[in-house]
Each structure stands twice: as C-alpha cells, then as structure tokens.
C-alpha cells in the first residue's frame, strides 16, 4: 500500500499509543470523579441538613413543652409565695391579737356576787421600745410595741365592805392561772357615782397585758 503525504509531513495525526490512551482516560476521569465527589458532598449535605432540621424541630417542640412547664412552675411558685405571705400575715396578726372570750369568761367567773359589772372595754395603744436588733444583737433599735388594757368598770353598794371586795376581786384576777402569765399589772381607781337612783362606789379595774412585739 502506498501513502501519499500531500502535506509533506505536517498534520498527519500521530498514531495513539499506550501513553495517549492513559492521558485520554485521565482527562476523562477527572471531571467524572469531580462530579461524583460533588454529588456525594451534595447528598451528604442534604442528609445532614435533613437530620439537623428534624433535630431543630424536635428541640423547638421540647422548648415549647418546657416553656409550658416553666410557666406552670412560675404560676405555682407565685401561688406558693402568696400563700406564704398570707400565712405570715396571719401569724403576725395572731401574735398581735388576743382571744378575749376566755379572758372575759375568767373575769366574770372571778367576780364577787356583790359586784355589778357596768362596762367592759379593751383599749389598745402602740408604744416605742428599744430592743436588740435581729442582725446585730449588740445594737438597740426602736420598734412599735402593742400594749392592751382590759378596762373593767364595776360598782359596789355602800352597805358592802367594798374595799375588801374589790381587793379580793383584783387578787383573784392577778393570780388566775389563765391571766397571771399574761398580765403585767392591775391598777384600781375609785370614784363615787349613782346607779338606778342609788349611791354606789364605782371602781375602774385596769388590767395591763404584757407587751407584744
């Protein structure tokens, strides 16, 4: 077979050898591998994003549940604080106020038959008193102290030995098992008056109760 080279040796394609095949294969493989790597990265990123979105949705649901729990807990805490404040106020009120029914019953029970009760009144006043500070016992602070006085007005007929009767009445109150721990002092004052058109002797028996902070 005869070959005529009209180009005089220029432009005749070189026959492909093993090196050319390798170069061509590598040239073709690079974009393919690059595309596969990019596809793998895309699929991986898509999977990771899908998992992260699912986790975020779960976290948001848990946050909403926890928000309800926190709100409920805060509501219970506020209710507990309100109850504690009420109990504290009740406790403070109980410390400042006395149950007068047993006291009145004790007064009436110790009153002599010859004595007539004309008036019974509880008087309350606040006085300033120095007491040790709670934070510093060595320091004295001024506080308001509640002082209560049970004022008993009675009268005794002139024919009776009224001085002795009232003295016995006072002693009965002063050493009463119920009243003795509560009383600070008992003061008695006397004056002449009239009751139902009769001349009588009136006494004012003032029972000072111990001071309460």
If DSSP codes are grouped into helix, strand and coil, which group holds residue 54? helix
Sheet of 183-195: strands edge to edge?
Answer: 115-132, 140-157, 198-209, 183-195
> Is residue 7 pLDDT above 70, yes or no?
no
Helix (H), strand (E) at residue 155:
strand 140-157
If DSSP codes are grouped into helix, strand and coil, which group holds residue 212? strand
Domain spans, the chain = 17-97, 100-209
Of residues 32 and 148, more confidence is placed in: 148
pTM, two decimal places = 0.50
- Determine the Cα–Cα distance for residues 147 and 162; give it in Å rounded to an integer: 29
Residue 140 has what pLDDT?
Answer: 77
Q: Which tokens hold the place of 71?
A: 């709100």
Mean pLDDT value of segment 5-25:
57
Whole-number average pLDDT of the chain = 75
- Determine the Cα–Cα distance for residues 117 and 180; give it in Å rounded to an integer: 21
- Determine the Cα–Cα distance for residues 45 and 55; give it in Å rounded to an integer: 15
DSSP of 66-80: HHHHHHHHHHHHHHH
pLDDT in tens, 104-151: 888 888 888 888 888 888 888 887 777 777 777 777 777 777 788 889
Range among 61-65, 128-132, 201-205 rated most confident: 201-205
Domain 100-209 - what CATH class? alpha beta
CA neighbours closer than 13 Å in the CB half-sphere of residue 51: 6
């Amino acid at each position: 077979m005869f070959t005529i080279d009209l180009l005089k040796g220029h432009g005749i394609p070189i026959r492909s050898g093993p090196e050319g095949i390798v170069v061509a294969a590598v040239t073709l493989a690079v974009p393919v591998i690059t595309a596969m790597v990019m596809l793998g990265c895309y699929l991986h990123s898509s999977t990771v994003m899908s998992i992260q979105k699912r986790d975020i949705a779960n976290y948001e649901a848990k946050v909403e549940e926890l928000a309800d729990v926190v709100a409920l807990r805060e509501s219970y805490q506020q209710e507990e604080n309100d109850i504690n404040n009420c109990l504290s106020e009740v406790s403070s009120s109980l410390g400042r106020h006395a149950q007068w029914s047993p006291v009145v019953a004790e007064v009436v029970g110790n009153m002599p038959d010859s004595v007539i009760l004309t008036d019974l009144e509880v008087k309350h006043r606040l006085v300033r008193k120095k007491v040790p500070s709670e934070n510093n016992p060595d320091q004295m602070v001024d506080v308001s102290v509640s002082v209560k006085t049970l004022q008993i007005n009675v009268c005794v007929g002139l024919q009776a030995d009224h001085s002795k009767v009232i003295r016995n009445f006072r002693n009965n109150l002063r050493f009463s098992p119920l009243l003795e721990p509560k009383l600070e002092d008992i003061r008695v004052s006397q004056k002449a008056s009239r009751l139902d058109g009769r001349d009588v002797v009136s006494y004012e028996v003032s029972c000072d109760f111990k001071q309460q902070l």
